[in-house]
Structure 1
């Protein structure tokens, strides 16, 4: 796809948006990162989306092959007229391979096979070339459902931990109670109160294992969902609770963001329904406009919303995901279940080359 500026109307506005996006970054040639859902036994036509701000015609090549499933060129009849069969008889087996289908389209074929319950099915990459340069690879993520990563705790604690609780770690409980079915829980081990507010001086959090960390770019525009339930603790009065306004429900951390200075994003507890003890499912949008705030690392400065590209960078380099367990000013036992990171539509165009 070529994009040329100097047009009118909606196309002109779109062009101006693209120009502004690339003016802030270092790249004028982009192969977009995208997510496609493919069910077992299904063939899905995938459009590989590239942009050139120089207005040159593009060619697209498959750069790497998926570890599961197969990529096919479009058949001539489907490429020209949209009639079945969609794909050629044989799959692409070597790379790089030039994409021959119209509108830079290929077919991803997913076999009937078992696959992990808690992760994406496969990934492959592609590049675009404008006759002068070749773009950095774009990633196509093939999802097998809304979840990019999840912990259902069917067998064990799956590497989840607890911080700020005197080194006490979560306990795995392979039982069911209402919507809680096979879960982990933590009990407050140390109670230290702040002299000014009587809130807990240290808040304990569940901490996600490594499979939730690293490059989770595909979750931008998606959600983080989880279920909490308390079996001990007094949630009956606000006077028993740590102040919600200063007690984030979720914390996302990136140690290498902002030129290795680090970025810490918090989801304020006040933006979600109040947790009162009974089992409750939370759904947190992974969008910069949803209510996330950035830790200024200075008590004199306000917490402010992150930009789109700051959130995108954090999700691409996650070093920590923490979920609150310490809701009360006294001892409580809180359980965690069904933690799911769901994907969005793909990386925003404005953020290519921004970090």
Structure 2
């Protein structure tokens, strides 16, 4: 039986083989039924779930507060390297005057922490953010303020203890009552490689009926797991399972 292995928009003829549904392409919280075990961190009050499908909390003074992600967003996030974290935030209050530098915080092993500063604070309407997860995307070491190396970034992602997303955007000195809400939190933790100019493929079948397809080609390769040869071509190994 002839079937196809599909790498995003690249079709690869592979008799009897298709891409498996592993691993999950994303972890997400859409809040369609409940708060999904999200909590707050810091000086927050009146944390609540809204029946329209999002969660909110209010500022209650120092220290600054954050939305804290549940267990499904933690642990070994190695496959998230080179992918992204996205979410939507809005503020109910007219005085968004706080200067922030740590809008997203990831805490790794031994308390090692990195932070990301979004270029624009949210407003009264929903504001969408998509943040790249690599050392070139603007993350810095919280302790030093310096950019991380790739080795440091990958090491931190291997053991993630906390993921926090800022909820405090109003200075407490303003005495402005404000509420921040968050929705559509998505952590992309795997995507198949894309080679824009595929030139060759080889397949090897295992005893269990699965195997590996080796893709090579030119153009560009859009995923962190791709490898580039000295000649400039790309290669990507894709695990497959049998399909009849």
**Shorter-chain TM-score range:** 0.5 to 0.7
Q: CA deviation at 1:45?
A: 7.2
Distance 1:213 1:160 in 2: 12
What residue number does 1:183 align with? 54
Correspondent of 1:336 among 178, 182, 187? 182
2:46 and 2:58 in contact (8 A); partners too: no
What residue number does 2:73 align with? 212
| TM-score where L is the length of structure 2 | 0.68
Q: CA deviation at 1:310?
A: 1.2
| TM-score where L is the length of structure 1 | 0.48
2:89 and 2:182 in contact (8 A); partners too: yes
Q: CA deviation at 1:83?
A: 6.8
Q: CA deviation at 1:165?
A: 2.4
Cα deviations by residue, 1:3-49 (Å, 9 ceiling, x for unpaired): xxxxxxxxxxxxxxxxxxxxxxxxxxxxxxxxxxxxxxx75279xxx
Structure 2: unaligned runs, 5 residues or longer:
192-222, 228-244
Q: What SS does the aligned partner of 1:218 have?
A: helix
Distance 2:76 2:4 in 1: 27
* Bigger RCO of structures 1 and 2 (CA < 8 A, at least 6 apart): 2
What residue number does 1:283 align with? 130
Structure with bigger helix share is 1
Correspondent of 1:229 among 90, 100, 104? 90
Distance 1:218 1:43 in 2: 24
Q: CA deviation at 1:191?
A: 1.8
Alignment of 1:308-347 (within 5 A): 308-330=150-172, 331-343=177-189, 345-346=223-224
Structure 1: unaligned runs, 5 residues or longer:
1-41, 47-81, 88-106, 111-120, 123-140, 176-181, 193-201, 236-240, 297-301, 350-355
Distance 1:231 1:292 in 2: 28
Cα deviations by residue, 1:182-220 (Å, 9 ceiling, x for unpaired): 1000111x224xxxxxxxxx1100000000000111111
Structure with bigger strand share is 2
2:121 and 2:169 in contact (8 A); partners too: no
What residue number does 2:38 align with? 160
Distance 1:230 1:318 in 2: 28
2:38 and 2:70 in contact (8 A); partners too: yes
Q: CA deviation at 1:275?
A: 2.1
What residue number does 1:243 align with? 99
Correspondent of 1:266 among 108, 115, 135? 115
Distance 1:288 1:83, change over 3 A: closer
Distance 1:233 1:332, change over 3 A: farther
Q: What SS does the aligned partner of 2:154 have?
A: helix
What residue number does 2:5 align with? 44
